[in-house]
């Protein structure tokens, strides 16, 4: 790689972010999560990696609903601000609606991000 292209890569590098999903509420019962539990996802280049050291536990039902992860990881601040324009925060939930439809409760997470570089 030439010095010129290496310098261009550094000037166009995207900021890295950490996404934090913190459990706010369980409607019903959940065998996995308790309020305050967290899932932390770090940006690694052009992909996202679950930070197992900072995450409490990870349930696949919650992962299914993290459709906006890529936008939160790579989007500019104005896009992320748009997600939370009405309430000032963004929330996601697991896909288990709770009784009487499923035995597990409905978990609601607050989503936020912090810059790593």
What does the pLDDT look like over 46-62, one tens digit per residue? 778 899 999 999 888 88
Specify the number of domains making up the chain: 1
Strand locations in the chain (E): 17-27, 38-44, 47-50, 90-93, 106-115
Tracing tokens 């039902």 back to the chain, one arrives at 61
Range of the domain at 45: 3-115
Mean pLDDT score of the chain: 77
Euclidean distance between CA atoms 94 and 30, whole angstroms: 11
Apex 15 CA angle, 21 and 90, nearest 5: 30
Structure tokens at 46: 């052009």
**Segment among 20-24, 26-30, 69-73, 96-100 with least mean pLDDT:** 69-73
Radius of gyration of the chain (CA): 17
């Amino acid at each position: 790689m030439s010095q010129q292209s290496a310098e261009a890569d550094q000037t166009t590098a995207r900021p890295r972010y950490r996404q934090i999903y913190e459990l706010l509420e369980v409607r019903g019962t959940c065998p996995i999560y308790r309020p305050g539990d967290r899932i932390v996802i770090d940006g690694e280049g052009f992909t996202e990696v679950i930070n197992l050291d900072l995450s409490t536990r990870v349930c696949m039902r919650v992962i299914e609903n993290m459709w906006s992860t890529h936008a939160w990881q790579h989007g500019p601040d104005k896009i992320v601000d748009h997600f939370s324009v009405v309430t000032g925060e963004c929330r996601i939930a697991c896909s288990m609606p709770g009784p009487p439809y499923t035995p597990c409760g409905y978990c609601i997470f607050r989503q936020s991000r912090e810059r790593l570089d």
